[in-house]
Structure 1
Amino acid sequence: MDAPLLQLSQYLNLLLAYWWPFCRIMAMLSLAPLFSQRAIMVRVRVALAVALTVAMGAAIPDLPILDPFSMQGVAAVFEQIAVGLMLGLALQLVFTIYTLVAGIISTPMGLSMAMVNDPVHGVSSSSILYQLYYILLVLLFFAVDGHLVVMSVLYLSFIYWPIGSGLYYDGFSTVLYAFGWVFSAAVLISTPIVFCMFLVQFCFGLLNRISPSMNLFSLGFPMAIVMGLTLIYLTLPNLGESYLNLTQQLLDSIGIMMRESGNG
């Protein structure tokens, strides 16, 4: 008579062995680049998280025995959600850099009001220059097998940050400090174009000051757009190299963060 109850308990333990990894994977996919887009339905994201959980379930370290209905079990769920969100946010930083780059370049070009509908990101509008950079980044992401890199980082997180080992302040502080890296990288990438646009605006303003009757300053607005598009065209060949360098720096930072604050 006790055999069915014993089998039910075994099935429950097996289900719990996949529950906590599922929480971390689902949280990471909600912020990871491309996987978090509104174009991907929630059901597709959940199915992908379940598939990854089943695939990684046998490879991750042994899980501690936790009662899911105890405070320790509830804390473990929130721990996995926090770690997953931190990983997803960290992997999203390179795309965030080019979001800032597009915003910085759009202002001197006069395209800061050039917005297009963006249902993919769940916002009413976004910069048209960012749409250009975003399409190129998506192609580069799949060209360098970025989706496989995301899965590798996720698997290593279970090695260095086992389930039930607690949260690490060093990991969260490193992500917070990375926002400074995002701003500095965006400024470095956009500085050449912004400086050239400043020279164009300065020259037309100087000419308008010399001969105000010709109203040459009004000619500077279309010329600024043409010059800005030309500069973007000239800098696009370096986009792949800069994307790879930024991604490598990001992965190195994540690796150092895992080794210093983890248990691996």
Structure 2
Amino acid sequence: MIVLPPELLPQLGEGLWHMFAVFLRVSAMVSLLPAFGERSIPTRVKLGIAVAFTLIVAPAVQAAGTAPDLFPLARMIVVETLIGVVLGLGLRLFVLALQTAGSIAAQATSLSQILGGAAADPVPAMGYLLTLAGLALAVLLGLHIRVAQFLIYSYTLFPMGLAPMAPDLSQWGVQQITRSFGMAFALAMPFVIASLIYNLALGVINRAMPQLMVAFVGAPAITFAGLFLLFAGTPLILSVWSDALFAFMVNPLEGTR
């Protein structure tokens, strides 16, 4: 039987409390992380990922001290969980931007009904392909390292137990949502332009030759154009998206100050 010296028990208690305080923020953020927090990943795997990130982040964060009383403890749990959820939502919006860009591109090129239920979320095939490729690229570029750095840096922005101000948080959230939709539309812009040119050309042809069934001629053309743009533009789309994702991890408050 192993008996710990009495003087080590307070230090052990403080260490466990510190790990628990870090785990609150990390677990809330991991549940929404790109790649690591997808709905297709089992809960036990997410729990293991959260524990692994906690073991990495905790030594780099200032110790939380002794466990507070009941009400300060409840406040600490709520605040740390809220900060983790907010940071995780900021990263999750980048995945939603890819899905939205794929939906816009598929709708513009009349490919929105192909493999619409292949993913956990009902997105068209283009959105599913872009999302899967973007997540794979982010992991290959060292997403786990960037996430660990981002978690450590988050304690500089939001010290442990200090709740963010509601007006600042709401303003930041609105700006991130606006940025996400703007990025989605920008990524899908080539498909929207191609669809505009296609519809204008179809209207001119139909005006010149009313007896011609332009829909039967134009449908294969817009399908081919959409697939070609997807083949040629995906590397650039994913490059722009990954740069924006990692730039957010470096400075999540950019444009809010």
TM-score range, shorter chain: 0.7 to 0.9
- The one-letter code matched in structure 2 to 1:147 is H
Per-residue CA shift, 1:128-172, capped at 9, x if unaligned? Answer: 101211222123202321221111101111233221223334345
Decide which moves more: 178-187 or 75-84: 178-187
Per-residue CA shift, 1:161-198, capped at 9, x if unaligned? Answer: 22122333434531331111111222222223211211
Per-residue CA shift, 1:16-70, capped at 9, x if unaligned? Answer: 22111111110000111011112321111112212222332222112143425x1
Q: Which of 123, 132, 141 is the matching residue for 1:135? A: 132
Tell me the residue number matched to 2:194: 196
Separation (CA, whole Å) in 2 of partners of 1:238 and 1:97: 15
The alignment partner of 1:126 has SS state of: coil
| Contact 1:23–1:77 under 8 Å retained in 2 | yes
What is the percentage of aligned positions where both structures have the same residue? 21
Tell me the residue number matched to 1:183: 181
Decide which moves more: 219-228 or 248-257: 248-257
Decide which moves more: 39-48 or 18-27: 39-48
The alignment partner of 1:155 has SS state of: helix
The alignment partner of 2:60 has SS state of: coil
Per-residue CA shift, 1:234-264, capped at 9, x if unaligned? Answer: 2123134312432254235415489x7xxxx
Separation (CA, whole Å) in 2 of partners of 1:165 and 1:116: 43
Asked whether 1:250 is paired with 2:251, we answer no
Asked whether 1:28 is paired with 2:29, we answer yes
TM-score, scaled relative to structure 2? 0.86
TM-score, scaled relative to structure 1? 0.84
Q: How many residues align structurally?
A: 253
Gaps of 5+ in 2: none
- The one-letter code matched in structure 1 to 2:164 is L
The alignment partner of 1:28 has SS state of: helix
Gaps of 5+ in 1: none
| Contact 2:17–2:64 under 8 Å retained in 1 | no
Tell me the residue number matched to 2:230: 232
The alignment partner of 2:163 has SS state of: coil
Q: Which of 161, 164, 176 is the matching residue for 1:164? A: 161
Tell me the residue number matched to 1:126: 123
- The one-letter code matched in structure 1 to 2:124 is S
Asked whether 1:19 is paired with 2:20, we answer yes
| Contact 1:208–1:217 under 8 Å retained in 2 | no
Tell me the residue number matched to 1:52: 53
Asked whether 1:220 is paired with 2:183, we answer no
| Contact 1:21–1:53 under 8 Å retained in 2 | yes
Separation (CA, whole Å) in 2 of partners of 1:100 and 1:66: 44
Q: 1:54 to 1:143 in 2, by over 3 A?
A: closer
CA shift, 1:11, in A, is 4.4
Q: Which of 143, 150, 173 is the matching residue for 1:153? A: 150
- The one-letter code matched in structure 2 to 1:212 is P
| Contact 1:201–1:224 under 8 Å retained in 2 | no
Separation (CA, whole Å) in 1 of partners of 2:15 and 2:65: 12
